[in-house]
Amino acid sequence: MILTLLLTALGITAIIYMVALMRGLAAQALRRPRIEAVILGAVTNFFDTLGIGSFAPTMAWLKFRRLAPDRLIPPTLLAGHALPTIVQSAIFLALLGVEVDPLLLLGCIIAMVLGGFLGVPLAERAPVRVVQIIVALALLIAAGFYTATNLALMPGGGQASTLPLTLTLLAIALQLVLGILQNFGVGAYAPTLVALSLFGMDPRYAFPIMTSAVAFSISASAIRRVRSRDLDLRFATGMAIGGVPAVLIAAFLVRSMPILILRWLVVAVVLYAALILIRSAVTPKRQPPSEI
């Protein structure tokens, strides 16, 4: 019943998003998506479905190619990755959602959405670099513990599909925090994947939780963003077109991937996310003359 409601809600959200996107394209008299965006969307969303995340590599490419001014990079990410993330959520809910504790699943989704709303005013005041460094250090520590688990240097879980009540509440609280941090550009996939795995869950069962939480939390923002006249909707549309089939391929790879490989992938994901955050925090921000 819960899965049916969630899948229905995702379907309605996808329809609303596509209608808003088509209206935005019509208002800007745009027709063909950009080929570069299709390729970028396919690559980043393939690895996003594996848990690596799509925001950081997409942002890096946009800045490297100077495809959008800094102020338009966040809405481009939201508009381009919303539909592939919705598809991710639907696939993992259909494949693995029935195995996940409904309380844990719904609690994490609601907490992430609530955190997204609460994080808006905080993001306007808090220094982003401080937050990035704190999260990066936390990820590095978690990666160290998880590496020790993989090497059998400390006991670990990795087989459960549910959690005790205390850990369930802790996981929900984590999603609330991650929902807030998303407003600072901090991705939610890596910390969610490593936290639930360290709590004792099979890493596969973390995927329907984290993809659904993120899908619901960013879709509303993406729907609002596609109405912006400043946004290059050809690029956002191309990312969505390339991302959806890539998600379909990667999702089945995750399902069939051996558990040990997936555990080591968690370590790679966390280290990658931590290094990206540290690099962003220590790199001086240069403001283009046109934006001064």
Is the residue at 292 inside a domain? no
Is the residue at 180 inside a domain? yes
pTM above 0.85, yes or no: no
The pLDDT value given to residue 211? 92
Domain interval for residue 9? 2-283
Q: Which tokens is 245 given?
A: 């089939």
Is the residue at 123 inside a domain? yes
The pLDDT value given to residue 40? 94
Is the residue at 67 inside a domain? yes
| Predicted confidence (pLDDT) at residue 104 exceeds the cutoff of 60 | yes
Return the higher-pLDDT residue of 162 and 156: 162
| Predicted confidence (pLDDT) at residue 68 exceeds the cutoff of 70 | yes
pLDDT tens digits along 17-41 = 999 888 888 887 777 888 999 999 9
Return the higher-pLDDT residue of 287 and 246: 246
> Residue 264, Cβ neighbours under 10 Å: how many?
14
The pLDDT value given to residue 289? 47
Residue 173: pLDDT band (50, 70, 90) is very high
**CA dist list (Å): 262 to 152, 201, 247:** 16, 13, 17
Q: Is the separation of the CB atoms in 105 and 2 below 8 Å?
A: yes
**CA dist list (Å): 18 to 15, 76, 189:** 5, 15, 24
| Predicted confidence (pLDDT) at residue 286 exceeds the cutoff of 60 | no
Is the residue at 288 inside a domain? no
> What average pLDDT score do residues 109-119 get?
88
Query: What's the mean pLDDT when you consider all of the chain?
Result: 81
Is the residue at 128 inside a domain? yes
Residues 6+ apart with CB under 8 A from 49: 88, 246, 247, 250, 251, 254
The pLDDT value given to residue 123? 66
Is the residue at 291 inside a domain? no
CA dihedral 194, 120, 10, 53 (to 10 degrees): -40
Is the residue at 144 inside a domain? yes
**CA dist list (Å): 154 to 143, 171, 204:** 13, 21, 21
When divided into structural domains, the chain yields a total of: 1
Residue 140: pLDDT band (50, 70, 90) is confident
pLDDT tens digits along 205-252 = 888 999 999 999 888 778 877 877 678 888 989 999 999 999 998 877
